[in-house]
């Protein structure tokens, strides 16, 4: 778990980046309607949670920075017994004062009046442009002296790039739960009939082990479905001689895992499936070995493209001169996405890839990123050798950058052909 001391340090780091005579406002996420009068399960805004650890809606964080001081004010929903009967207990102002280290805590309904009171002499205002723009319309009338508005989300994103020990431990547990889910999928796939049944097995393991939510909508794509990168219908039959691309990760205590494994429905790979799988696996392992501080993600990307292009040329998927094919990006038809992304509070963590000067940010110890090469050969693509058509393969691991190099946080989730075959044919 993350301590209140860590949340305090995060806010201190944020405050150092703020202008003198500024006010910063972060709002909690709002409830989202599913249909009519029913709502989706509530999930707190990641930036708000990063700075507070607070999980309720109708909440706000206000930071006022002047030459003399930095003051932090928190706003929470009023305790209303009749509402709590329907929607659950609220923490309330008094309990929030006991738990959180803020200069003062108010009811959320007081936000506008407090902004008006604290805004005297304030000339800079920070907020999340994407999340809060529409909700700030009524508040901006209280900010008459403000000359400049800044997007605080970009600053917080930079703070979130390097994970603390506590964050890494939570991510490790999310991956440990995900390991159990993927291994179960390998063991039961041959016994099931539909993709959604396999999805249910995976998400059952998530919830059984304390991960109450998936980190994103699970992809369980059998056969040609794997060639749709964001395939989430998961409603097709499991074809016995096909591969299943499973891209599924859980969210544990707000932190994500993101794992992809591609496995045979029947428990055995065909020769053609093996050839493609070994190509993608070799690229996955080669790129992971490149990870260390100061390396640029663009180098990982370009190397993955070189290796996949060369492999596709050797397998007869591409034809011609390697360098000409690479320069023409012929391989992008079959490998159209990036090698990976940041991961943390969001599965695609909202952290920058370039600094404020537009320069690429190199890897640094404490960063967590995915490595996920893939190859996607549509069943209707007549330019591809017939034996490979309809096969889509991606292999994705979650990697921690360390001072010495890297730690593959998901190395215990099997991915060698022999290990997948053994796991698929083992007893539950």
Residue numbers annotated as active site: 37, 230, 247, 258, 337, 341, 348, 372, 376, 394, 396
Distance CA 234, CA 231 (A): 7
| Whole-angstrom Cα Rg for the chain | 24
Question: Where does 225-302 show beta strands of DSSP type E?
Answer: 243-247, 250-252, 255-256, 260-264
Q: How far is CA 27 from the centre of its chain?
A: 21
The answer for residues whose C-beta is within 8 angstroms of residue 323's C-beta and 6 or more apart is none
- Taking every pair of C-alpha atoms in the chain, what is the biggest distance, in angstroms? 73
The count of C-alpha atoms lying within 13 angstroms of the C-alpha of 74, restricted to the half-sphere facing its C-beta, is 28
Question: Where does 195-324 show beta strands of DSSP type E?
Answer: 213-214, 219-222, 243-247, 250-252, 255-256, 260-264
| C-beta separation of 103 from 118 below 8 A | no
| C-beta separation of 339 from 295 below 8 A | no
Q: ∠ CA(413), CA(418), CA(421), 5° rounding? A: 80
Buried b (16+ CB within 10 A) or exposed e, 24-56: bbbbbbeeeeeeeeeeeeeebbbbbbbbbbbeb
Q: Where are the alpha helices (DSSP H) in 106-228?
A: 111-118, 129-132, 152-160, 165-188, 195-208
- Cα distances (Å, whole numbers) of residue 293 to 11, 167, 296, 401: 26, 19, 9, 7
């Amino acid at each position: 778990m993350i301590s209140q001391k860590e949340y305090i340090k995060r806010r201190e780091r944020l405050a150092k980046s703020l202008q003198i005579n500024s006010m910063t406002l972060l709002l909690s996420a709002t409830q989202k309607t599913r249909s009519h009068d029913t709502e989706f399960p509530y999930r707190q805004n990641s930036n708000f949670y990063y700075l507070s650890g607070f999980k309720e809606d109708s909440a706000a964080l206000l930071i006022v920075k002047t030459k003399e001081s930095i003051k932090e004010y928190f706003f929470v929903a009023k305790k209303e017994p009749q509402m709590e009967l329907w929607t659950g207990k609220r923490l309330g102002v008094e309990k929030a004062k006991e738990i959180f280290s803020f200069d003062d805590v108010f009811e959320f309904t007081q936000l506008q009046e407090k902004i008006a009171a604290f805004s005297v002499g304030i000339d800079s205002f920070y907020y999340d442009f994407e999340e809060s723009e529409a909700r700030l319309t009524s508040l901006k009338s209280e900010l008459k002296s403000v000359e400049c508005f800044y997007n605080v989300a970009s600053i917080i994103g930079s703070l979130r790039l390097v994970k603390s020990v506590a964050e890494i431990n939570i991510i490790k547990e999310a991956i440990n739960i995900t390991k159990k889910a993927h291994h179960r999928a390998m063991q039961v796939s041959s016994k099931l009939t539909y993709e959604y049944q396999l999805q249910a097995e995976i998400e059952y393991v998530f919830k059984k082990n304390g991960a109450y939510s998936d980190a994103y909508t699970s992809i369980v794509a059998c056969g040609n479905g794997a060639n749709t990168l964001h395939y989430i219908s998961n409603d097709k039959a499991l074809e016995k001689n096909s591969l299943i691309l499973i891209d599924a990760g859980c969210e544990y205590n707000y932190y994500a895992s993101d794992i992809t494994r591609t496995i045979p429905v029947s428990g055995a790979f065909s020769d053609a499936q093996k050839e493609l799988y070994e190509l993608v696996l070799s690229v996955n392992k080669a790129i992971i070995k490149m990870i260390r501080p100061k390396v640029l993600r663009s180098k990982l990307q370009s190397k993955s493209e070189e290796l996949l292009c060369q492999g596709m040329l050797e397998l007869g998927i591409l034809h011609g001169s390697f360098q000409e094919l690479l320069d023409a990006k012929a391989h992008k038809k079959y490998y159209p996405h990036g090698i990976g992304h940041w991961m943390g509070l969001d599965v695609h963590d909202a952290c920058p890839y370039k600094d404020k000067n537009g320069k690429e940010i190199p890897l640094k110890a404490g960063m967590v990123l995915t490595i996920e090469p893939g190859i996607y050969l549509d069943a209707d693509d007549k330019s591809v050798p017939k034996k490979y058509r309809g096969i889509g393969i991606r292999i994705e691991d979650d990697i921690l950058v360390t001072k010495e190099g890297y730690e593959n946080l998901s190395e215990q989730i099997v991915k060698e052909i022999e290990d997948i075959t053994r796991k698929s044919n083992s007893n539950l």
